Amino acid sequence: MFRFSCLTIVCALAILSGLIGTVRADDTLIDNPGYQSWAKFKPGTLVKYSSDTNAMGNQTSMEMTQTLKDINADNATVEVKMTMVMAGNKTDMPATTQMVPAKIKKVDPNAAQTADAPKTETSTEDVQAAGKTFSCKKTTITSDANGMTTKATTWTCDDVPGTMVKMESESSGSMTMSTKMVLTDLEPQ
């Protein structure tokens, strides 16, 4: 059961990170928006998220806390702690450290797009989270790959380290899965 639930979380995170189609990068370095988001805050700032995932009838809940440990001209150091509840069993995952570089390779805007490239829609919407109302950019991406259709919507705001306020994702086809994640705490506010 533990392996399947970890697979569920890995799949959910893969969906989040794989929403943008594969593009080529050149050797030109540009400012990393992820780093810029954390750079607005002081070490000790944290964001906490709560999520629920249902994968093929199996329910998993998770709490994730990201804490800014250090920020310098080259990168932001963010500690990530997760607690998962699977089949009624609570598991604290070992803390990990994520280095967010200040610079990343520039994406080639002329990279070839395939016919099955994800479709993207954007708008703005206010979202209530962590006891506050955030003015968010709403982005919905729909993709078809490997026998699965995935529709993922994120609500992001520059007032939040890492920018994510809320995320909802649904996949159907060879595997069914839905995930809802929301910001539950932001310190300091």
Which of the two residues, 146 and 179, has the higher pLDDT score? 179
Tell me whether residue 133 is in a domain. yes
Provide the pLDDT for residue 147. Answer: 85
Is position 110 within any domain?
no
- The token duo for 30 is 């540009």
Asked if pLDDT for residue 111 goes beyond 70, the answer is: no
Domains held by the chain: number = 1
Q: How confident is the model at residue 12 (pLDDT cuts 50, 70, 90)?
A: very low
Q: What is the CATH number of the domain that holds 176?
A: 2.40.360
For the full predicted model, state whether its pTM sits above 0.75: yes
% of the chain beyond a pLDDT of 70: 81
The whole-number pLDDT of residue 107 equals: 79
Mean pLDDT over all residues of the chain?
86
Q: Per residue in 23-79, pLDDT tens? A: 445 578 999 999 999 999 999 999 999 999 999 889 999 999 999 999 999 999 999
103 contacts: CB under 8 Å, gap ≥ 6? 29, 30, 31, 32, 35
Gyration radius from the chain CA atoms: 17
Q: Domain for residue 112, yes or no?
A: no
* Both tokens assigned to 129: 């989270």
Domain presence at residue 153: yes
Residue 160: domain span: 2-19+28-105+118-187
pLDDT at residue 164, rounded to an integer = 96
User: 7 in a domain, yes or no?
Assistant: yes
Give domain status of residue 157, yes or no: yes
Which one-letter amino acid corresponds to residue 53? T
pLDDT at position 30 is 94
Task: Give the residue among 89, 97, 85, 99 at the shortest CA–CA distance from 50.
Answer: 85
Q: Is residue 176 part of a domain?
A: yes
pLDDT at 8 over 50: no
In a domain, 177, yes or no: yes
Query: What pLDDT, on the 0 to 100 scale, is given for residue 112?
Result: 53
What is the per-residue pLDDT across 92-110, written as a single tens digit (0 to 9) for each? 999 999 999 999 998 776 6
